[in-house]
Structure 1
Amino acid sequence: MHSSSSRAANIALLGLFAVSGFAGLLYETIWAQYLGLFLGHAAYAQSFVLILFMGGMALGAWLVSRRSELLARPLVAYAAAELIVGVLGIAFDPIYHGVTGFAYSRVFPLVGSGYLLDASRYAICAALIGPQCVLLGTTFPLMSAGYLRRTPVEGGQVLAGLYFSNSFGAAIGALAATFALLPAVGLPGTVMTGGMLSIVVAVLVWPLAKQPTAAVASARNEAAGGLLPGFILLAAAITGATSFVYELTWVRMLAQALGSTLHAFELMLAAFISGIAFGGLWLRRRADRLPDALLAAGWAQVLMGLAALGSLFVYARSFDWIAALVNGLARNDEGYAFFNVASGAISLAVMFPAAFFAGMTLPLLTLALLRRGSGERAIGRAYAANTLGAIVGVLLTLHVLMPSLGVRLALWLAALVDLALGLYLIARSGGAAMRVRARALVVGGVVSAALAVAAVAWTRVDPLTLASSVYRSGRPRLPDGTDMLYYADGKTATVALFQYPGPSKIRSIATNGKPDASIATDPAARPALDEYTMAFLAALPLAYRPQIEDAAVIGFGSGMTVHTLLGSDTLRSVDVVEIEPEMVAAARGFGPRVGRAFADPRVRVAYDDAKAYMAGSSKRYDVIVSEPSNPWVNGVATLFSDEFYAFVPRHLNRDGIFVQWVQLYEITPELVASILKAMLPHFHDVKAYTTNSSDMLLVASADGDLPGLSDIGGASAQLRSELQRMSVHGPDDWRRFALLDRRGLEALARMAPTPTNSDMFPYVQLHAPKARFTHTTASDIIGLQGGVWPLAEVAMALPQPSGNASANAGLLAGDIGRQQALDIKATLLSGQPVGSADPDMMRQVVTMRSLARGCATDLAADVWIEASAAVAGATISHLDAEELKGVWIQPAWLASCPSKDPRVARVLAYYAALSARDWPETARIGSELFDGGLDTVPSFKAFALGATDLANFALGRYGAMADLERAHGGDVKQYAFERRWLAALSFVSNARARVP
């Protein structure tokens, strides 16, 4: 009987091994991100990182299996392994940056491109984490051996208990890494935390490791049942392979229901590991009472296969559950927290049952080896075999099963393998009566066959459901009448192409359910909004630099950006870097609208990560276009990081142009500011354009100021025709899309106290998923183009609105506002409603005109002033001074009975000065207005505060702006974003003025 102190020590070992599992998961998560930055996120790079991690673990376990019985104190070796891993964990970040920096500057230029470059990259990665992986692989067999020597119980309880504690710690680590440590301390702090925990484990294990113990002998001898230890090891490898097939296919399937975010991935990983952990926990008190460990392993294998088939039925319902969640939850922080909890619960419902039985198989197979007299070496050998099988499972799933069979059939095939293996183990196990065993085999076989058939026949989910983006829309299926034109499970993502019902024949391409691009395939139809973005990504750099020769495009998307670039006759080559081959295959379905992207011999498509591809090439480009997916998608935010923007200029020719798409939907102004803080320091000049109400394009030059816009020289007649369809006929039309210059973007970045988005501190990747769920937008940024004051005209020195600017009314904020302003002017002058302006606005127009024409402004001065503020805000910024004659300059709609209320006259004089862009007079009257009691009319106060701020800005009176805001702006919430931006712009302008 063990003493209470001995029992306490054993409990402490279990707790420390849980901490070890916690730290190990931190390493796995963070190493994958570090190496992903170096290798890229293409399928083969992802495979290599997993294989390197698990291969090192397998090697470590195998090495221990050869030597553990010779060790007098296995726990001393365990503590030493943890200590070394901890020290390397603390030092990992500086080592990584030193090694990779040396590789980029010295090694890669020497080896050039091709296989030698790839080999050097992989060798460097192996050197960076290979030793730690080997050491981590030694920890389970060393801890198991040390623990077994300290306790009189049989091996089953020890192995299952350790398996539970380590796996449970890992599950907690998966959640802590993403939801706590990464937001707080970034990648460097997270991997350092893992290192410190490993050192703590080593220090605390050391006192328990001093007592020498004898090697473990077999506690009992089981009948071999005709099975050699070699086959049991093969069974361990097979179950490792099928477990990873399950994990990878579940992650891919659930990404279509939950979204491809980092948060969703870690929740899925935690659900899978939790199942394994609790399987070990259930077995802990029962393992040593099992008369035949191999028979139990067979049944666990059968139940794992049946549960995996059952997961297909559960998954088929998950889209309805997510739809109910999305539609029922409030779109706020609390709603997002509950959504994550519910996502974890759905992941558990899909993964937990099969993972629960998977958590039993390795301890049972190891126990079977121990009972057959294999000794301590059985622990390391079984662990190594299981891990090697996992490597095979990764390779088969990513590169064979999912691309050839699809996700569902890949899981189904793995389940059949588990069922077959389990039934074979049951048949060949010893210790059971033959007749009972035969009946069990028949029943198990019949049930397995029936469920396998049912899983194939009844669990096929309609592709219109899989591509529905339910986690965004709350709609569990695409609209009725939608045609699915292409659907394929690729190596890195599932890609779909579908056509919505309707005469425009709009087709959309989606990745893991998230639509990435839409095109109206009917050339006579109005272009889809995405078309403007995709075409302008190529056309804008052509307008800045017409005679380009070499271009690169990051992200194939629909192919329209590549198609547009190829409309230039001077272009010699376009290198397109796309991770997923199925994306390109599906894009063929857009037909002639992207025809040049497939037919033109100047195109070369590389299936690789963008940074990895360009780092391996010395080629420089005249234009680089970056149009990745949304930054909330896991891994995409690295293309919006400080490191990426530092990388791009090294691959641009002198005077080269870089163009970046930034979404303004499902994102916050703070996240946009974080991206701008990453980009602006690396480019001399940056200008922003808007293509619709929710997309922004950043055009940048690293060497100097961007040149003036010109006609697209060398453009084919076909390209000119395509741009004319989008109302772009020449250089003047581009100005309608202009949004912000570099000063304006610097002000936007300054407004938010958010950190710079970087690879090491991935602010955008961690916070963008919540913005997606809450449907937050940064549309206030677009409002700077068509707001209530002529901000862009004054602050960015853009031209005043012209009479030709309404060609595309309905697309741009400025166009929409200008058309409404023209309608208001006509209504004011005629007295009859004109056009289709906003009804609320037209009521304000009628109220203001009626009071003035009826000489009633004295009776309802506050009402008139409030209405006039709304009408002034809808007209003055959208019309030039000539067009405002008769409206606010010498207003023709006023009656001949002047108001006796002096405030009305001052307000009219203020509007006249503002309409004439007479900034000294606007600033003078504005100051008087706030001293004359007009700040009692809330809407007018808000309008006049911002307009007077703008007048002071135009005059360079930045101190007067600040004084006015301090005195009167504290309680004014309306137009707060625009006023804050103007204040930030004044700071930027003042700082620039001080630079000699």
Structure 2
Amino acid sequence: MDSSNERSGTLLLWVFVLSGFSGLIYQSIWTQYLGLFLGHSSYAQSLVLLLFMGGMAGGAWLVSRRSDSLKRPLLAYAVIELVIGLMGLGFDPLFQVVTQWAYDSVFPSVGSGGVNAVRWSLAILLVLPQCVLLGATFPLMSAGFMRIMPNIEGRVLSGLYFSNSIGAACGALASTYLLLPWVGLPGTILSAALINILIAIAVYPLSKIERQPAPVSKSAAVGSGGELPFVLIVAGLTGASSFIYEITWVRMLSLALGTTIHAFELMLASFIAGIAFGGLWLRSRADRLTSPLATAGWVQIWMGLAALASMFVYANAFEWVGWLMRVIVRSAEGYGLYNVASGIISLLVMFPAAFFAGMVLPLLTLALLRRGHGEKAIGQVYAFNTLGAIVGVLLVVHVLLPLIGLKLALATGAAIDLALGLILLHRYQPESERRITPLRKALALSLAGMFVAVAFVHFDPLMLTSSVYRHGQTTLAAGSKILYLEDGKTASVAVYETPNPHGTVGSVRSIATNGKVDAGMATGITEAPSADESTMVMLAAIPMSMKLQYRRVGVIGFGSGLTTHTLLGSSRVGQVDTVEIEPAMIAGARHFGARVERAFNDPRSHIVIDDAKSYFSSSPERYDLIVSEPSNPWMGGTASLFSKEFYAFVPRQLSDDGLFVQWLQLYEIDPELVSSVLTGMLANFSDVHAYLANESDLILVASPKGAVPALNSAAFSDPLLSADLKRVGVTDLREMQDSFVMDRQALLSYVGKYRARANSDYFPILQLNAPVARFRQANVSDFSAFLTAPWPIARHLGAVPARPLSAKLAGLPLHVVRKWQAARDIHSIMLEDRGETRFVSPGDRLAAELLRSRGKNCSLDADPKVSAEMIFSLAIETVPSLSAEEQVDLWKKPAWLACVPEDELVKDALAIVGAASQNEHDQVLVAGKRILEGKDAKFVLGNETASYYLIGAMQFAALATKQPELSRDLRERYDGSLLPVVRNSSPLRLVSDMASSP
């Protein structure tokens, strides 16, 4: 063989690596682009795959029609790569212009009935031309390569399959781990486009040495005529089985590894890598095969058996993941190690079967080439294989998974391959080797493998729903029971009961998506409510306490159905449209029974199976209220409901005085990611307020025009809604007001403290980084800390009155409620009320008793620094929680003080706390200034408790009296003297930022 041709061939292999690299980037990024427009429903996902596969099949088929007549296939290949690159350069601006035009002009004019047809048509126009061109690349490259290096068709085809596939595997990883975080969707697709242009430049010179195809010898080894239709059918069926495997494996592994963008791309890369190395193994052997189709028969047998064996491997994956979660350090570096391990687990499950799948198409194509079907056979086999993949996708998503589940869906794919293998062996085993024994062996292996896998592999439902990738537990708690388990079109949904985690009587019933619990409720109505219940009830009750009437309400995400149920507890609601992607979620939620019955039985309830953005955009009427409670943002497809583009979209769906309510987790997330969500929301709504339903669930209420209304008692005028609120501890307006934490000004200070780029559909910060935060078990405590700060900032911002001492011990599961209970106990201890004091901490109890004793004995001056520290410490626990009237005897005119202290530090400490307790902000500033300029300033600034309270009280006074210059002066003068733990504390930073803002 000519050495120059050998070098050219090597260069073409490297070029095809880049082609696979860019092609997989397109597939990954187009899926995300079209997901934004079509939504993330199962039908939209199927359509995206249909576009990719159908377009590529069409391109391959068109090439097969003209391949033999093309004089320079490599030149045609270079031109196509150039055109793909040029179209890639303009894809992002074109997509944004077209979709914005559709939302603004087309959808409102065609009505809900025509929206789907319009958006699917536009999606086809946006992507299908490039898909057709991509489909033409493999047969053109193969034809050109074989003309440069003739008579080694098997080596050429296998080498190209390896090169293209290994490039695709690398592209899957690079797009997610490198390009998306660096340059976002626009930059990633631009990178792929530039690679295409580079490929065209590299291939053009090689196209000049192409020669016309040599006559192909027709070997009788293939058998008698009629092979072409049969081989094409085999190519289609094996394509269908391969995609049944891929989709089923992804769904299975998502239960063990998590439903994140990183996990998905690792699985995809593992599958493609298996195909690549299958082609590599065949490369040096293909041309020596006597009967490629007989070999393909054995390959199909081994592929089916490997797929069945993957069930046994998968059954152990949960134990492996559980071990990883227990031994890997929960850090960003640990997450990288976890991803490596996840990739290895994915390879163990997918690689063997995918390895054999990588040999099938080269063998089928080689057989047709030997039979004399010419270069067109390359495109024909590729086209039918891709068409089969389309059938496999539709079959597994819409038929197999919903009807028979993961295990039998995988077994169905294996049965197809085993049957194909047996038929191929029966038809094409060479005469010289035709004996009954090999076929019987293949049949025996097939039957035994199918029997063993179906009979002995058991996927324990308690294991599948364990969410091992979050907590490391490989099964649900002892005593748990599964009530419902369905492998739906987009996710696996389970409803189960677990014993009460706090050891009390009763159990918790939960609904989970791919193992992630979306909602949990106490099974019995008399049992203590779960934290999720307070969140779902408050998502409905807070807006219902702001306006008198809501003609039309939209809810994003069904969950358990409790939010919809609660909304319908009010006669002031006209209609509730609840939009849910997964039908199995609706079926599962029925197991909550009477707790959510209004969501199913109330005539005002309208349940819609669709993507929320797509459905709302087609609505002819605007909504008075939209409540968004999707799953956690690290779940696939969910982060787009927390993006700045979504927050720009929502106001257009609201009436002029409408409200938008957003749930946002504060667990498994970090402050910067919360800030990225808030930044996008604050930019698109005129006012936003934040509420806490519990310590880990934030509720944001936004108004597109004007201010967010204040809470009122309207919700308590509806008997059913009032009963739902009472269930979670809220019996009156004052208890509901406990949930208020921040107004727009405070939220702006928060995003100023944790500066982050707004989460965007095109720069998906949340989608990429939320999985890392989840793995690290990050937690955002700033909002709870702000609500319970030593200075009543939240009460001041929301005009919330203090709870009276006579109030009952009830309320939401919030630290602010427990702080009030503890403050009441300290009040009793200091004033010797002799009441029950069971909420105060031992340390605060001791401090209160000691300070009272010193006050009674006139010994505060004996150790003034300790006395001042105790005064500030107890002020932190009482001043923000009690009313001014109830603190007169405690701090303003202390009843526990037998004589006036003489020490300046003690006097000033009592003066500043007394003034703060009465909201006498000017006196706070005066007393604080005396301390900071007095002889004990060094002690106070160096003492964590004293400096924290003093500086914070002065900053709060500056905020309340609107003196930003004073606030900035305090920061400049004293921040450098504070201990780092004080200077960096979240409540102090936030109040300082708010006070210093003009």
Question: TM-score over 0.5 for the alignment?
Answer: yes
CA distance in 2, matches of 1:674, 1:727: 32
Structure 1 letter corresponding to 2:990: W
Q: Which moved more, 1:860-869 or 1:317-326?
A: 860-869
Are 1:62 and 1:380, in contact at CA under 8 Å, matched by a contact in 2? yes
1:959 aligned onto 2:965: yes
Structure 1 letter corresponding to 2:293: L
CA distance in 1, matches of 2:732, 2:913: 34
Structure 1 letter corresponding to 2:980: V
Sort the Cα spacing of 1:357 and 1:924 in 2 relative to 1 into closer, same or farther, 3 A: same
Q: Which moved more, 1:135-144 or 1:172-181?
A: 172-181
Q: 1:671 offset after TM fit, Å?
A: 1.2
Residues 251-270 of structure 1: pairs in structure 2 closer than 5 A: 251-270=250-269
Sort the Cα spacing of 1:942 and 1:454 in 2 relative to 1 into closer, same or farther, 3 A: same
Structure 2 letter corresponding to 1:160: S
What residue is the counterpart of 2:211 in the other structure? Answer: 213
Sort the Cα spacing of 1:843 and 1:77 in 2 relative to 1 into closer, same or farther, 3 A: farther
Residues 111-510 of structure 1: pairs in structure 2 closer than 5 A: 111-114=110-113, 116-218=114-216, 221-226=219-224, 228-431=227-430, 433-434=432-433, 437-502=435-500, 503-510=505-512
Structure 2 unaligned segments of length 5 or more: list them: none
CA distance in 1, matches of 2:389, 2:420: 16
CA distance in 2, matches of 1:15, 1:980: 55
SS in structure 2 of the partner of residue 883 of structure 1: helix
What residue is the counterpart of 2:55 in the other structure? Answer: 56
Q: 1:805 offset after TM fit, Å?
A: 5.7
Q: 1:617 offset after TM fit, Å?
A: 2.1
Q: 1:682 offset after TM fit, Å?
A: 2.1
Per-residue CA deviation, residues 608-664 of structure 1 (Å, 9 max, x unaligned), is 000111122212122211111111111101111111111112222231222111111
Structure 2 letter corresponding to 1:91: G
CA distance in 1, matches of 2:147, 2:882: 87
CA distance in 1, matches of 2:711, 2:861: 51
CA distance in 1, matches of 2:525, 2:566: 15
Structure 1 letter corresponding to 2:121: A
Sort the Cα spacing of 1:219 and 1:888 in 2 relative to 1 into closer, same or farther, 3 A: farther
CA distance in 2, matches of 1:148, 1:847: 93
1:983 to 989, 992, 996: 992
Q: Which moved more, 1:653-662 or 1:795-804?
A: 795-804
Q: 1:165 offset after TM fit, Å?
A: 1.0
Q: Which moved more, 1:384-393 or 1:6-15?
A: 6-15
Are 1:855 and 1:899, in contact at CA under 8 Å, matched by a contact in 2? no
Structure 2 letter corresponding to 1:2: D
Sort the Cα spacing of 1:897 and 1:540 in 2 relative to 1 into closer, same or farther, 3 A: closer
What residue is the counterpart of 2:838 in the other structure? Answer: 835
CA distance in 2, matches of 1:708, 1:895: 44
2:923 to 921, 928, 940: 921
Are 2:484 and 2:496, in contact at CA under 8 Å, matched by a contact in 1? yes
CA distance in 2, matches of 1:881, 1:398: 63
CA distance in 2, matches of 1:79, 1:719: 67
1:595 to 590, 594, 597: 597
CA distance in 2, matches of 1:8, 1:986: 71
Sort the Cα spacing of 1:370 and 1:719 in 2 relative to 1 into closer, same or farther, 3 A: same
Are 2:488 and 2:582, in contact at CA under 8 Å, matched by a contact in 1? yes
Structure 1 unaligned segments of length 5 or more: list them: 991-996
Sort the Cα spacing of 1:219 and 1:338 in 2 relative to 1 into closer, same or farther, 3 A: farther
SS in structure 2 of the partner of residue 53 of structure 1: helix
Q: 1:550 offset after TM fit, Å?
A: 1.5
Per-residue CA deviation, residues 323-363 of structure 1 (Å, 9 max, x unaligned), is 11112222111111111111111111111111111111111
Q: 1:846 offset after TM fit, Å?
A: 4.8
CA distance in 1, matches of 2:918, 2:633: 43
What residue is the counterpart of 2:42 in the other structure? Answer: 43
CA distance in 2, matches of 1:538, 1:831: 40
CA distance in 2, matches of 1:903, 1:354: 78
Q: Which moved more, 1:712-721 or 1:153-162?
A: 712-721
Sort the Cα spacing of 1:216 and 1:132 in 2 relative to 1 into closer, same or farther, 3 A: farther
What residue is the counterpart of 1:973 in the other structure? Answer: 981
Q: 1:10 offset after TM fit, Å?
A: 1.8
Structure 1 letter corresponding to 2:398: H
Per-residue CA deviation, residues 233-255 of structure 1 (Å, 9 max, x unaligned), is 11111111111001101111111
What residue is the counterpart of 2:536 in the other structure? Answer: 534
Structure 1 letter corresponding to 2:991: L
Residues 1-80 of structure 1: pairs in structure 2 closer than 5 A: 1-3=1-3, 5-80=4-79
CA distance in 2, matches of 1:804, 1:346: 59
Sort the Cα spacing of 1:767 and 1:773 in 2 relative to 1 into closer, same or farther, 3 A: same
CA distance in 2, matches of 1:759, 1:587: 30
CA distance in 2, matches of 1:509, 1:927: 56
Residues 684-703 of structure 1: pairs in structure 2 closer than 5 A: 684-703=686-705
SS in structure 1 of the partner of residue 483 of structure 2: strand
What residue is the counterpart of 1:794 in the other structure? Answer: 796
CA distance in 2, matches of 1:412, 1:843: 68
CA distance in 1, matches of 2:870, 2:337: 43
Sort the Cα spacing of 1:418 and 1:2 in 2 relative to 1 into closer, same or farther, 3 A: same
SS in structure 2 of the partner of residue 760 of structure 1: coil
Are 1:740 and 1:792, in contact at CA under 8 Å, matched by a contact in 2? yes
What residue is the counterpart of 1:993 in the other structure? Answer: none
Structure 1 letter corresponding to 2:520: S
CA distance in 2, matches of 1:718, 1:143: 69
CA distance in 1, matches of 2:941, 2:450: 75
SS in structure 2 of the partner of residue 622 of structure 1: strand
Q: Which moved more, 1:401-410 or 1:544-553?
A: 544-553
SS in structure 2 of the partner of residue 330 of structure 1: coil
Are 2:828 and 2:837, in contact at CA under 8 Å, matched by a contact in 1? yes
SS in structure 2 of the partner of residue 628 of structure 1: coil
What residue is the counterpart of 2:890 in the other structure? Answer: 887
Sort the Cα spacing of 1:105 and 1:957 in 2 relative to 1 into closer, same or farther, 3 A: closer
Sort the Cα spacing of 1:840 and 1:453 in 2 relative to 1 into closer, same or farther, 3 A: farther
SS in structure 2 of the partner of residue 190 of structure 1: helix
SS in structure 1 of the partner of residue 221 of structure 2: coil
Q: 1:713 offset after TM fit, Å?
A: 6.7
Structure 2 letter corresponding to 1:148: M
* Identity %, equivalent residues: 49
CA distance in 1, matches of 2:774, 2:200: 42
1:935 aligned onto 2:941: yes
Structure 1 letter corresponding to 2:492: T
CA distance in 1, matches of 2:943, 2:735: 39
Structure 2 letter corresponding to 1:211: I
Q: 1:737 offset after TM fit, Å?
A: 1.4
Sort the Cα spacing of 1:71 and 1:792 in 2 relative to 1 into closer, same or farther, 3 A: same
Structure 2 letter corresponding to 1:416: A
CA distance in 2, matches of 1:874, 1:267: 50
Per-residue CA deviation, residues 350-395 of structure 1 (Å, 9 max, x unaligned), is 1111111111111111111111111111111111011000000000
Q: 1:499 offset after TM fit, Å?
A: 1.2
What residue is the counterpart of 1:874 in the other structure? Answer: 877
Sort the Cα spacing of 1:236 and 1:541 in 2 relative to 1 into closer, same or farther, 3 A: same
Sort the Cα spacing of 1:272 and 1:864 in 2 relative to 1 into closer, same or farther, 3 A: farther
Q: CA RMSD in A?
A: 2.1
Structure 2 letter corresponding to 1:979: L
Q: 1:806 offset after TM fit, Å?
A: 5.5
